[in-house]
């Protein structure tokens, strides 16, 4: 039953994504906010499908730590889940994402229209300066920017691998940064078909104000996110065990 529910969800999830991208084509000539709102609706629909088909819910903690207006969110990245779920919370979100995503037909066009900030991971300092400028411009527009400091998905329990780029983005943007911990990788494991029932927990920690030295900021960000994530992963494993599931192996 777990496999069949996961299979059904995945089919509906990708059909829904394709429908969104096709619906976005006319919106490419309309204001950007329309594409952003359509993407947020897709995220909400995906969360609904997870709850109804797979029995997988979400609990948001620490919402009181989210300031209003333009903010930089630095999030743990364990799963595809956070790439659509996080944006449902914010009025005008965007992501810092790898440039290759912009080359995908339909998806890349929608991402370009929505104002995604692409990263050319092979361009070094040049791309960091471009990201700093685009991040600052997006914040000046009042947007909420989501970035994954490790650059790619890491299995739940895997050793952290934070990149220095997040410190450069923070310093260049002169922005408040909210650390985000989660345990999504237990319930939606990377590179696997199975979607386990339970509750994904996302926790927003106290904002880090602008102006810290880059090295100090990176240490504070990593220790804050990793300490909270370890607790959430342990909590999630207990829930899976209580439901009779072993869940994915530790990273």
Where b means 16+ CB within 10 Å and e means fewer, 212-236 reads: beeeebbeebbebbbebbeebbeeb
Hey, where are the domains in the chain? Answer: 2-242
Asked if residue 94 lies in contact with residue 138, where contact means CB atoms within 8 angstroms, the answer is yes
Residues in the chain: 251
Looking at residue 66, what is its pLDDT? 95
CA dist., res. 101 & res. 107, Å (int): 8
**Tokens 């237990």 belong to which residue?**
186
Strand 177-182 vs strand 198-204: parallel, antiparallel, or unpaired? antiparallel
119's enclosing H/E stretch is strand 117-119
Query: CA-based angle 80:86:88, to the nearest 5?
Result: 120
Looking at residue 121, what is its pLDDT? 64
Looking at residue 12, what is its pLDDT? 97
**How far from each other are the two terminal CA atoms of the chain, in whole angstroms?**
26
Looking at residue 63, what is its pLDDT? 97
Looking at residue 123, what is its pLDDT? 56
Looking at residue 103, what is its pLDDT? 80
Q: State which fold the 2-242 domain adopts.
A: Glycerol-3-phosphate (1)-acyltransferase (3.40.1130)
Indicate if the alpha-carbon torsion angle 141, 137, 140, 136 is positive or negative: positive
CA dist., res. 60 & res. 201, Å (int): 6
List the one residue out of 232, 121, 226 whose CA is nearest residue 187.
232
- pTM as predicted: 0.93
Strand 177-182 vs strand 117-119: parallel, antiparallel, or unpaired? unpaired
Q: What are phi and psi of 67, to 5 degrees?
A: -70, 160
Q: What are the per-10-residue average pLDDT scores of the chain (251 residues)? A: 96 94 88 94 97 98 94 97 96 90 82 88 70 92 96 93 93 93 96 95 97 96 98 97 88 67
Looking at residue 251, what is its pLDDT? 67
């Amino acid at each position: 039953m777990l496999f069949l529910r996961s299979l059904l969800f995945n089919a509906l999830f990708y059909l829904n994504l394709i429908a969104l991208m096709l619906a976005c084509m006319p919106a490419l000539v309309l204001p950007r906010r329309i594409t952003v709102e359509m993407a947020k609706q897709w995220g909400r629909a995906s969360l609904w499908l997870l709850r109804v088909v797979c029995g997988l819910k979400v609990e948001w903690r620490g919402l009181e730590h989210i300031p209003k207006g333009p903010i930089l969110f630095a999030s743990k990245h364990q799963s595809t889940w956070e790439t659509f779920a996080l944006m449902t919370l914010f009025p005008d979100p965007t992501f810092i994402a790898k440039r290759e995503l912009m080359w995908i037909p339909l998806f890349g066009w929608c991402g370009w229209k929505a104002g995604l900030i692409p990263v050319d991971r092979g361009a070094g300092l040049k791309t960091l300066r471009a990201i700093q400028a685009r991040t600052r411009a997006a914040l000046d527009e009042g947007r909420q920017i989501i970035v994954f400091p490790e650059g790619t998905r890491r299995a739940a329990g895997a050793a952290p691998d934070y990149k220095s780029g997040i410190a450069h983005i923070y310093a260049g943007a002169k922005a408040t940064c909210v650390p985000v911990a989660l345990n999504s990788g237990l319930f939606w494991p990377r590179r696997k078909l199975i979607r386990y029932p339970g509750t994904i927990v996302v926790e927003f920690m106290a904002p880090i104000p602008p102006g810290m030295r880059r090295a100090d900021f990176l240490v504070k960000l990593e220790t804050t996110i990793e300490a909270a994530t370890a607790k959430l992963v342990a909590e999630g494993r207990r829930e899976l065990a209580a439901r009779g599931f072993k869940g994915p192996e530790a990273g």
